[in-house]
Structure 1
Amino acid sequence: MRSDATTTSATRAERLDRLPFTREHGRLVVGSGLGWALDAMDVGLISFVMAALAVQWSLTPTELSWIGSIGFVGMALGATLGGLLADRIGRRQVFALTLLVFGVATGAAALAWSVASLLVFRFLIGLGLGAELPVASTLVSEYAPARVRGRVVVALEAFWAVGWLLAALIGYLVVPGSDDGWRWALALGAVPALYAVVVRRGLPESVRFLELRGRTDEAEAAVRRFESAAGVDPVPSAPARPTPAPRPGALWAVGSRRRTAALWAVWFGINFAYYGAFIWLPTLLVASGFSLVRSFGFTLLITLAQLPGYAAAALLIERWGRRPTLVVFLLGSAAGAGLFAVAAGDTAVLVTGMVLSFFNLGAWGAVYAVTPEVYPTALRATGAGAAAGFGRLASIAAPLCVPPLLTAGGNGLVFGTFAAFFVVAALAACLLPERRGQSLETPVG
């Protein structure tokens, strides 16, 4: 092997940070990202299922709102509990468990026989899904070299667009095909249950977590696995001391409370606007006079704009930094929502919807990149999970708010409200710390 370091000792975190991006990093991103994509597919599918059930089951706007929101009740609880568990039993264990929970529940939802049964299954789906997302981003961020960490996490988040695109394709091709099309669509969402087995066996546990728990032999083996992939000789590691699991109240301790408040505000604003818009989008288009198939086709095209949004965020997040990238994409999202609010005609609806999709998903990439960097290792998954859990409260409220907003002011008021939430999130993002190029062990300023 070649060596690009001196023989002096280095911490395992420093050894990981010095590495180039290797095939092992690629396997970690793809392995985590496939689970992420399957999650997105499930969340995206419900918007198409809602549009179909509105016709087949003659559902009221209130019933549709609860179908859209109940999964986020589970996500709020799952994100909070998942983060706490990940800081206690490990990132990989929780990741695999959550994939299993929401995969099995999604398959069961395909057999739903009433609104009530569908609500129960959607809650269980959300429980698994909510725990998975912050845990996966934490795991990837703890392995990514510091100089490209933001870009790697945005690449992970880009798998969300792949999953949502799959949902749009299934919605377009499968859901309108028959009265049972929505059931077949949900049955496809059961794939994560099988993928959980792959995750459990193939992904490494976080080195930083292993060190905190005193499992130094496992931590050393994991670091050497990545060093071997880079062709780098290992160097002696400084001993790591086990650290007790933190109490959740540490998020609001002196020195943490400002960034916790800012992070929660960002998560709340982006969740409210994103899920309010995209969960209801196919149904709103149908209500505006589009056929079911045409509505799904427009949603598919709008979804495609997510991919270049992620690519732009991945490029800029290591050039501009996390904070400016997040602020710009949130303000771009506000502009897209505002333009969609006044759009008239098919072309205007499509173009402004794509603008909203481009900036909104770029903002999601940036927020997932910055979130694990806000807290130290012992509190990282707990903090990320708590922020995501608080944000899910907004995703519960947003679908429920759409019907009264529609009644009060139509699509203009609905998307004008979403634009305002994006602006609030952008203002809060200005208060987050900038960690571009810094080690996760560097104290947060």
Structure 2
Amino acid sequence: MSEKNKPWYLEISKSQWYSLFAGFMGWGLDAFDVMLYAFALTSIMKEWSINTAILGLLASLTLLSSAAGGIIWGIVADKIGRKKALMSTVLIFSICSGLSGLSQDIWQLAIARTLLGLGMGGEWATGALLVSESWPAEHRGKAIGIMQSGWAIGYFLAALVASYVIPAYGWRVLFFIGILPALFIFYVTKFVDEPRIWIEKTDKNRAFMSSFIEIFKPYLLRFTIITTLISSAVMFAYWGLFVWLPGFLSSPVEKGGAGLSIVKSSNFMMPTMIGAFLGYVSFGFIADRLGRRPTFSFYLIISAILVYIYGHTRDVNTLMLLGPFLGFFGSGYFSGFGAFISELFPTKARGAGVGFTYNTGRALSAFAPTVVGFFAISYGLGVSLTITSLFFFLGAILIFFLPETKGIELQ
């Protein structure tokens, strides 16, 4: 077979595949730990007699701390390297999942989830940097798409475990299982290398905050502002939707839900996450072919339409049918962030750029679960979920204020 006709996956070295697997697993395990909370919501609400607004606020606190973690660990990754930073974040969110299971009241749970958020936010930033800087430009979108699909796998596993563990053992044991991802750091230690571009282009003696200052200089400020606005819009939509989606499915019909049991709602989420997995992976291939901007915008517009339909549907068969499509479009666009943001910022500021823009957006979107939970008290969860459609549309418009970066070499 000639070099010209060789399949793209044969162009990738073993070390690049190792880096991708590290990013994939790290993000999948992150999702597993984070989404255990989403599936435990109704059980916690019943045991402690608290309402949707309080639990939504707790989810918002986790997102706020994850935003801080992403910004901090992006800067740390610029200083100490992508590999070490990745291992540290996985260890943090794994331990704090176990602490969540030991909570005796809402305040203790709030502390544990806030600390967990620090690791959660940092993991995505460090994993995206590791993969983006390890893979060649023409296949970077595919790599980030595959990495991002780890979230769907983690979400799927969380749904599967929750459907068996909560009815039999309760929500505390569910959180104890979340400690297991800490074992992943042994794989990273043995098989993953630092990206060559970071080793060669980074001044190890520079000030700790120098990369953070760089992203606010005139030549990068436009990218910093617009990317932050985009991530804010789409993450408000995502977290407002997916934090409450299991709750919508398991809440009584008279409260605006779909009226399913916890087991059934968990089972309904599995096809949704299969759709999300396919959406994450397909996004990278499409974006490498058609470009980052049109692919991103298309996914968001379809998401906005599907959310409105889904939130106003109570028919079980229709919900099951729409679930995979909601997962495909409502999650797949996240595969655009890792490659797109990395391609906008130079190596000396890439960690800060990825960490700040993505996670400031996450911080500003942290109120989404609270907003949806608040409106759900009066209007029901189904109707309240459709608020997120507006933010999907906003992200689809803002993306065209940035340049197309398909196929460019990292600076």
TM-score after normalising by structure 2: 0.91
Matched, 1:358 2:365: no
Q: Where do residues 57-76 of structure 1 align in structure 2 (5 Å cutoff)? A: 57-76=48-67
SS in 2 for 1:53: helix
Map of 1:283 onto structure 2? 247
Map of 1:198 onto structure 2? 187
Matched, 1:440 2:404: no
SS in 1 for 2:176: helix
Map of 2:366 onto structure 1? 396
Matched, 1:348 2:318: yes
Where structure 2 has 5 or more consecutive residues not aligned to the other structure, the ranges are 4-9, 252-256
- Counterpart amino acid of residue 168 in structure 1: A
Q: What's the CA shift for 1:103?
A: 1.1
Check whether the contact 1:340–1:352 (CA below 8 A) recurs between aligned residues: yes
Check whether the contact 2:77–2:126 (CA below 8 A) recurs between aligned residues: yes
Deviations along 1:84-132, whole A, 9 cap, x unmatched? 1111111111111111111111122221111111111111111111111
Deviations along 1:369-405, whole A, 9 cap, x unmatched? 2121110100101000001221222442011111222
Whole-angstrom distance in 1 between the partners of 2:31 and 2:293: 25
Map of 1:189 onto structure 2? 178
Whole-angstrom distance in 2 between the partners of 1:409 and 1:262: 33
Aligned length: 397
- Counterpart amino acid of residue 429 in structure 1: I
Whole-angstrom distance in 1 between the partners of 2:203 and 2:332: 38
Check whether the contact 1:50–1:67 (CA below 8 A) recurs between aligned residues: no
Match for residue 302 of structure 1 among 261, 272, 277: 272
Q: Where do residues 193-342 of structure 1 align in structure 2 (5 Å cutoff)? A: 193-213=182-202, 246-287=210-251, 288=257, 289-342=259-312
Q: What's the CA shift for 1:154?
A: 0.9
Match for residue 175 of structure 1 among 158, 163, 166: 166
Where structure 1 has 5 or more consecutive residues not aligned to the other structure, the ranges are 5-18, 216-241
Map of 1:137 onto structure 2? 128
TM-score after normalising by structure 1: 0.84
SS in 2 for 1:174: helix
Map of 1:14 onto structure 2? none
Q: What's the CA shift for 1:331?
A: 1.1
Whole-angstrom distance in 2 between the partners of 1:420 and 1:352: 19
- Counterpart amino acid of residue 307 in structure 2: A
Map of 1:15 onto structure 2? none
Map of 1:118 onto structure 2? 109
Q: What's the CA shift for 1:316?
A: 0.5
Check whether the contact 2:70–2:121 (CA below 8 A) recurs between aligned residues: yes
Map of 1:86 onto structure 2? 77
SS in 1 for 2:244: helix
Check whether the contact 1:343–1:352 (CA below 8 A) recurs between aligned residues: no
Percentage of matched positions with identical amino acids: 30
- Counterpart amino acid of residue 191 in structure 2: G
Check whether the contact 2:138–2:407 (CA below 8 A) recurs between aligned residues: yes
Map of 1:158 onto structure 2? 149
Whole-angstrom distance in 1 between the partners of 2:384 and 2:203: 51
Matched, 1:414 2:384: yes
Quickly say closer, same or farther: Cα 1:354–1:89, change in 2 above 3 A: same
Whole-angstrom distance in 2 between the partners of 1:124 and 1:243: 29
Whole-angstrom distance in 2 between the partners of 1:408 and 1:387: 34
SS in 1 for 2:380: helix
Map of 2:7 onto structure 1? none
Map of 1:107 onto structure 2? 98
Map of 1:228 onto structure 2? none
SS in 1 for 2:401: coil
- Counterpart amino acid of residue 91 in structure 2: L
Match for residue 53 of structure 1 among 44, 67, 75: 44
Quickly say closer, same or farther: Cα 1:112–1:53, change in 2 above 3 A: same
SS in 2 for 1:149: helix
Whole-angstrom distance in 2 between the partners of 1:173 and 1:305: 22
Map of 1:368 onto structure 2? 338
